[in-house]
Structure 1
């Protein structure tokens, strides 16, 4: 493999001059630059990314850890991260934790040993876990997404789940509904708790009683929504509307309703949360709360790179606001 010394010998210049031409770090005359580039082409020279990373103390690589899920939400966020990395000239190493704390710790250790410039965590099933290894790498910035209170120093990107849950229930109330149930996510998780709190706040402000038979905790997956609807249905009369705290559970609930002969939205209205891409292609198309997934991913990368440039130790919290997307799954009562 050709080196800069080989190029210098063929071009008849110093190694430092070759370095300045290759790295464009200093002005070199057009005639000499042409000789150097010609020699590099003849020798099939390829710059060493490893050597450059050691010299610059940057690998231009970001590591990201994601929890396994059938929910396309995660893939849509990763797409935003990956595109932003590409636009900024960074590579992305993606690791799957499968909801396992030991696997997450091992993946983080591997990423840090590979000298990634920063780490993005989107492993909400593991929120509340202490990650001591970051304390040994204080110069590597960490950004977390979709996570509750943190037990380690990091920046945070989140959607305003309290506001989103409030908006979902408020829309059902404005549509004339007074019997409103909720299929929550796992309430040990911060985002699930916040969406449920927003739902309760909207009902309390409207003076609407919360029927405990219409509150079912599920798991943010389709199966959970399916089972939650059936559990609610088995308790007796269904509410006129249900807030499913993500689109996957809303899809499962709609499937269970169809099997039970319950028409959506004629008999029961359903609103979801996330606005995943397939939600508009369901039957009926899903009214939902839009979470800006691409912007979440972009904000994570931008925040990480900002930390790298500024070398600031102050934690940054970026909160993106949800919006309502009205489609066909909610009936407006007269």
Structure 2
């Protein structure tokens, strides 16, 4: 293991000088500081820098791992996490996994290696892997020099010992699908995220069944949450030459691309095809036509996640894992109802 003596030897300075540079306890010349910092980098001394906080075992860093920072959803969530963490004296390190499970695991390992004080995770793990993944997380986070608490975002891992902050996407999706059917739709397509038994997809299937409409998988296309995916998936649906009078998308960004494809094909929205998105981001009010969407409180989601994590870090959380679920509700605009009143939230 690299020690402070190794850093001092590499930089050609005393151990006390290295300590002063690391802790900022005494002024040293810029030239000397550069030598020490260069030696720290060359020797990968980051692990041992944690040793200066061994008494408190705090780094004042929190890791946030999300599946898509380029989308329209997570920037709101992470902004609120950053604001509250900063107010409480913590810095934030954000990882974007782009929905890749191996990148997600690599990010968790890196955060554990850097002894962050806690982690907020939006996972892409499949439902049938939850138990195995929870065991892996516990082994990684509970067995180091300190136990690192983790809060799961938008996935319920409370039964596996992790605090979980979720949104009731299923109820929101139920309302969205029923709205399409009540509006006269009988041939409803769905662009989904390829996650098994995901709430929005389950709602799609359940509402069809409850309204005695057979589930036809030719109406379902898996996407990746992006506008490009929405466009391509809608094009694939049109290529099947199936009648479509309604579309329910996994998120608003997907709906943006799908709407472009619909309009390129010469269909009118909502007269020919009614469209509903999910998340109710700012762009919904600015599309033509404005997009009906299921509202999720993104700021509140981020706030509850960071408050739960801070409580766990500071030892004030309940002994049992927190399971907190936010409500969702449908906002109707003219993409499904020409007579809908204006709703401006951008």
TM range (shorter): 0.7 to 0.9
Q: Match of 1:136?
A: 143
1:217-256 → structure 2 map (5 Å cutoff): 217-256=222-261
CA distance 1:331–1:236, change in 2 (3 Å):
farther
TM-score, L = length of structure 2: 0.73
Q: Match of 1:88?
A: 88
Segments of structure 1 that go 5 or more residues without pairing to the other structure are 7-48
Q: Match of 1:97?
A: 97
Equivalent residue in structure 2 for 1:156, among 142, 164, 168: 164
Pick which of 235-244 and 123-132 moved more. 123-132
TM-score, L = length of structure 1: 0.75
CA distance 1:292–1:260, change in 2 (3 Å):
same
CA distance 1:330–1:99, change in 2 (3 Å):
closer
Q: Match of 2:174?
A: 166
> Equivalents in 2 of 1:185, 1:65: separation in Å?
18
- Do structure 1's residue 321 and structure 2's residue 327 form an aligned pair? yes
> Equivalents in 2 of 1:5, 1:304: separation in Å?
31
> Equivalents in 2 of 1:200, 1:332: separation in Å?
26
> Equivalents in 2 of 1:217, 1:103: separation in Å?
21
> Equivalents in 2 of 1:241, 1:117: separation in Å?
46
Instruction: Report SS of the residue matched to 2:155.
Output: coil
> How large is the Cα RMSD of the aligned pairs?
3.1
Q: CA deviation at 1:270?
A: 0.3
Is the radius of gyration larger for structure 1 or structure 2? 1
Alpha-carbon deviations, 1:18-77, whole Å to 9, x = none? xxxxxxxxxxxxxxxxxxxxxxxxxxxxxxx98995554433321112224532212221
> Equivalents in 2 of 1:260, 1:4: separation in Å?
64
Pick which of 205-214 and 219-228 moved more. 205-214
- Do structure 1's residue 203 and structure 2's residue 211 form an aligned pair? no
User: How many residues are matched?
Assistant: 288
Q: CA deviation at 1:167?
A: 1.2
CA contact (8 A) 1:241 1:268 kept: yes
Segments of structure 2 that go 5 or more residues without pairing to the other structure are 1-19, 27-48, 340-346
Q: Match of 2:121?
A: 121
> Equivalents in 2 of 1:99, 1:170: separation in Å?
29
CA distance 1:54–1:123, change in 2 (3 Å):
same
Q: CA deviation at 1:90?
A: 2.2
Equivalent residue in structure 1 for 2:293, among 285, 288, 291: 288
CA distance 1:332–1:180, change in 2 (3 Å):
farther
